[in-house]
Structure 1
Amino acid sequence: MSTDRRPVVFVHGLWLHADSWSPWVELFRDSGYDAEAPGWPGDSASAEETRAQPQRVAGVGIDAVVDHYAELIRALPMPPILVGHSFGGLIVQRLLGENLGAAAVALDPAPIKGVIYLPPSSLRVASIALRNPANRGRAVALDRAQFRYGFGNALTERESDELFARWAIPSPGRPLFEAAVANFNPSSPARVDTGNAGRGPLLLTLGGRDHTVAPAIVRTTARLYRRSPAVTELREYPDRGHSLGIDAGWRTIADDVLAWLKARGF
């Protein structure tokens, strides 16, 4: 990576391959950043390869993902901007709270420790893994209908199916189990240092029609940062679902993120 361009690290969440960030990576590079989207531990180079080898991601938990990205970040020439979606949004909040990023953007982020109430739609999506305790050590895949409910409910069925065919992958069930018991575990890997006064700015976004990370989750997350004087902003997209970063309207979100970063001096 170039030493004079600000690095940007994109972090995907469950059930999407890192290549789903490709349009963002290209846009950010064209906008003057050194952008990359590394996968989670065990992810293969493509969605197709990851689907063919689901055992490689089985059992990976939140701490392992954070450590994986922290190692990559420490090799960069300067602290990066971190952009994460869903569980990737939880990951970038942890990294920012540990002062490993210059700024972070969490798109529809998975619930961190301290978020108590999970709306029924979010529980329905999480139950895909949680209904079987053995899934803690397994890779879990969505079928087309589950993807439609969790990601593509604000889209046409055709667009949802196209995104499913292009980007959907099996993902470890363990992060969902860890998040489910976070508020009963003092050392939960879903714990974020929301009180860190010296961290960089954070932008949280929510989709008003998101079934997977319902709006109440992100609003509660934003409130957990109130005791820190560091910048935390919340932006709402009332008509968007969990696919807001990968569907046909991704550019609106990306342009807003770029404008927010520029306004913050990045």
Structure 2
Amino acid sequence: MTAPLPVVFIHGLWLHGSSWQPWIDLFRDEGFAPSAPGWPGDPDTVEEARQNPRSVAGHGIDDVVEHYARLIAELPARPLVIGHSFGGMIAQKLLGQDRAAAAVAIDAAQIKGVLPLPLSALRATLPVFKNPANRNRSVSLTEEQFRFAFGNAIPARESAALYERWAVPAPGKPLFEAASANFNPRSAAKVATENSGRGPLLLVSGGKDHTVPETVTRATLKQYRHSDAVTDLLGFPDRGHSLTIDSGWHEVAAAVLDWLRKHGTGDAR
């Protein structure tokens, strides 16, 4: 009997890893071996993360990539990697490094080479960029800021409930690294987009996303034009940045599963 294929879920800024629990339950029922390990410094629970915001301060993109690379190295096979927001960037980097069998990047943060920077994205990240010292700090969102950045496409009451359940402080450093990526030849936000030997990649976008607008995801797709590997784009026109955690998460997860069944079986080490 073949062992279940590992799936590693990677959260983004301002959400705790436990926000992937519904996806974990679904993927386990579908025969996978899913897990959602946190970023370096992440406490085990939302409550602990809120009480100890300094635990994640100062961690940058390379720290996070190496953290997940070490975890992946302990798995029995190369996993499927599914990331949201900055987790989507991390998933792309791991795939480009041939550490994953396939990857899904949902509303993924801007990688090096992507030029569009819509005003809504600037507003969504203003809580970090308004103070340069936030590069080495952790930053929390207010409920109103969360509403704009995550919950703009869902009812206000649902956005408030998601904020109360999942929102946690996040390190500012990854945002500063991504913002300067196109001016830094050694940027941590650089992804091996030209790798034709990597596994399949699915980019997922929300048409109403303020934090990672659809134009950013489409520009990301163009960065892969020199690779012969499978790179697909799937859009949800009426969804915002909360699409992995709000009441419509199952629609997104089902579409991801359909794509994985076609492309993401991977191969064992």
| TM-score category (smaller protein) | over 0.9
Residue 51 of structure 1 aligns with which residue?
A: 50
Residue 106 of structure 1 aligns with which residue?
A: 105
- The 5 Å alignment of 1:17-28 reads 17-28=16-27
Instruction: Give secondary structure in 2 for the equivalent of 1:260.
Output: helix
- The 5 Å alignment of 1:97-246 reads 97-246=96-245
CA deviations 1:71-126 (Å, max 9, x no partner) are 00001000000000000000000000000000000000000000112000001112
2:257 aligned partner, one-letter code? L
Change in 2 beyond 3 A, CA 1:3/1:171: farther
1:105 aligned partner, one-letter code? V
- C-alpha displacement of 1:144: 0.1
Alpha-carbon distance in 2 for matches of 1:93, 1:263: 19
CA deviations 1:29-86 (Å, max 9, x no partner) are 0100000000001110011100000010001100000000000000100000000000
- C-alpha displacement of 1:3: 7.4
In terms of mean alpha carbon deviation, does 175-184 or 120-129 score higher?
A: 120-129
Alpha-carbon distance in 2 for matches of 1:128, 1:187: 26
- C-alpha displacement of 1:231: 0.3
- C-alpha displacement of 1:12: 0.1
Residue 13 of structure 1 aligns with which residue?
A: 12
Alpha-carbon distance in 2 for matches of 1:4, 1:19: 24
For the Cα contact (< 8 Å) 1:3–1:77, is it kept in 2?
Answer: no
For the Cα contact (< 8 Å) 1:15–1:142, is it kept in 2?
Answer: yes
Alpha-carbon distance in 2 for matches of 1:221, 1:116: 9
- C-alpha displacement of 1:143: 0.3
Unaligned runs of 5+ in 2: none
CA deviations 1:159-191 (Å, max 9, x no partner) are 000000000000000000000000000110000
1:250 aligned partner, one-letter code? W
Alpha-carbon distance in 2 for matches of 1:77, 1:31: 19
- C-alpha displacement of 1:234: 0.3
- C-alpha displacement of 1:220: 0.1
2:30 aligned partner, one-letter code? S
For the Cα contact (< 8 Å) 2:80–2:264, is it kept in 1?
Answer: no
Alpha-carbon distance in 2 for matches of 1:263, 1:231: 11
For the Cα contact (< 8 Å) 1:118–1:217, is it kept in 2?
Answer: yes
For the Cα contact (< 8 Å) 2:102–2:264, is it kept in 1?
Answer: no
- C-alpha displacement of 1:263: 1.2
- C-alpha displacement of 1:265: 5.3
Unaligned runs of 5+ in 1: none
- The 5 Å alignment of 1:34-49 reads 34-49=33-48
Change in 2 beyond 3 A, CA 1:265/1:204: closer
Instruction: Give secondary structure in 1 for the equivalent of 2:28.
Output: helix
How many residue pairs get aligned? The number is 265
Alpha-carbon distance in 1 for matches of 2:76, 2:121: 38
- C-alpha displacement of 1:150: 0.3
Residue 79 of structure 1 aligns with which residue?
A: 78
Residues 1:263 and 2:262 are matched in the alignment: yes
